[in-house]
């Protein structure tokens, strides 16, 4: 019996090492595998605010920690995601510490077929739920979906689309009546498609 155990011991150690490595996956790695990393909002086309424009961002810091940042337009805060795991039904379970609130909350996120995410539950350490089974505890309404936003809106330059195409007052005075001023006024008057179509005749 002792000889058989001695032969199995290296195998036991190997499996124990592999199990330890698998369980050592960081919160950032788990969230990245699930698809959470990035910026999310109810409406990515709105500026950050306390309503539909609020931006919820999950970012990996230089030290490898997963951070949760909320941008409400007039204020922001940052929380530390201290644990993340994916359950059998692909629910992402997070444990997050909010320094300003001095509170740790646990919540689960569900990814919908269109790639949006919804909060499935949200509770404090005492087990008090603000969201349960995808419904707000206060009114029973379903939680809304958040959509993944682009990293940053494209920079728009005056006149690039035919609108706001005008010179500064000083330059306009210096170039009054010049070809460049006439061209800008003409293009600006044509709206979003300033270039005339070429004739095929």
- Of 40, 34, 31, the closest CA to residue 146 belongs to 40
132 backbone dihedrals φ, ψ, rounded to 5°: -145, 130
Q: Which residue segment(s) compose the domain that 30 sits in?
A: 22-149
Does any domain span residue 158?
yes
One domain, residues 84 and 117: yes
SS3 61: coil
One domain, residues 111 and 144: yes
Alpha-carbon torsion (28, 30, 36, 37), positive or negative: positive
One domain, residues 131 and 160: no
Q: What are the pLDDT digits (tens) for 10-36?
A: 544 544 444 443 456 999 999 999 999
One domain, residues 62 and 141: yes
Please give the pLDDT value at position 150: 82
SS3 39: strand
Q: How many domains does the chain have?
A: 2
Model pTM above 0.85 = no
One domain, residues 43 and 120: yes
Contact between 78 and 189 (Cβ < 8 Å): no
Q: What are the pLDDT digits (tens) for 64-120?
A: 999 999 999 999 999 999 999 999 999 999 999 999 999 999 999 999 999 999 999
Task: Write out the DSSP string of 102-164.
Answer: TEEEEEEEEE-TTS-EEEEEEEETT--EEEETTEETTT-PBPPPBEEEPSSPPP--TTTTSSS
One domain, residues 51 and 114: yes
Contact between 145 and 111 (Cβ < 8 Å): no
One domain, residues 133 and 49: yes
Bridge partners (DSSP) of residue 119 are 109
CA angle 165, 171, 175 (to 5 degrees): 95
173 backbone dihedrals φ, ψ, rounded to 5°: -65, -40
**Structure-block tokens of residue 96:** 């997050």
Does any domain span residue 11?
no
When pLDDT is averaged across residues 179-188 and rounded to a whole number, the result is 44
* Dihedral angle, C-alpha 37, 38, 40, 43, nearest 10 °: -150
Alpha-carbon Rg of the chain, whole angstroms?
A: 27
How far apart, in whole angstroms, are the C-alpha atoms of residue 96 and residue 67? 9
Does any domain span residue 201?
no
One domain, residues 114 and 165: no
One domain, residues 182 and 139: no
Does any domain span residue 9?
no
């Amino acid at each position: 019996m002792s000889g058989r155990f001695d032969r199995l011991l290296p195998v036991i150690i190997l499996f124990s090492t592999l199990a330890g490595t698998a369980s050592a996956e960081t919160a950032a790695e788990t969230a990245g595998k699930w698809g959470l990393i990035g910026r999310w909002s109810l409406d990515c086309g709105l500026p950050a605010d306390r309503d539909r424009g609020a931006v919820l961002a999950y970012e990996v810091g230089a030290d490898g920690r997963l951070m949760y940042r909320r941008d409400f337009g007039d204020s922001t805060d940052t929380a530390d995601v201290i644990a993340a795991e994916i359950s059998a039904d692909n629910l992402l379970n997070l444990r997050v510490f909010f320094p300003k609130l001095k509170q740790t909350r646990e919540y689960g996120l569900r990814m919908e077929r269109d790639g949006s995410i919804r909060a499935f539950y949200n509770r404090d350490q005492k087990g008090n739920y603000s969201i349960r089974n995808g419904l707000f505890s206060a009114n029973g309404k379903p939680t809304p979906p958040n959509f993944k936003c682009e990293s940053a809106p494209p920079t728009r330059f005056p006149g690039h689309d035919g609108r706001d195409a005008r010179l500064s007052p000083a330059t306009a005075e210096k170039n009054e009546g010049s070809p460049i001023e006439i061209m800008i006024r003409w293009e600006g008057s044509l709206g979003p498609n300033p270039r005339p179509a070429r004739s095929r005749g």
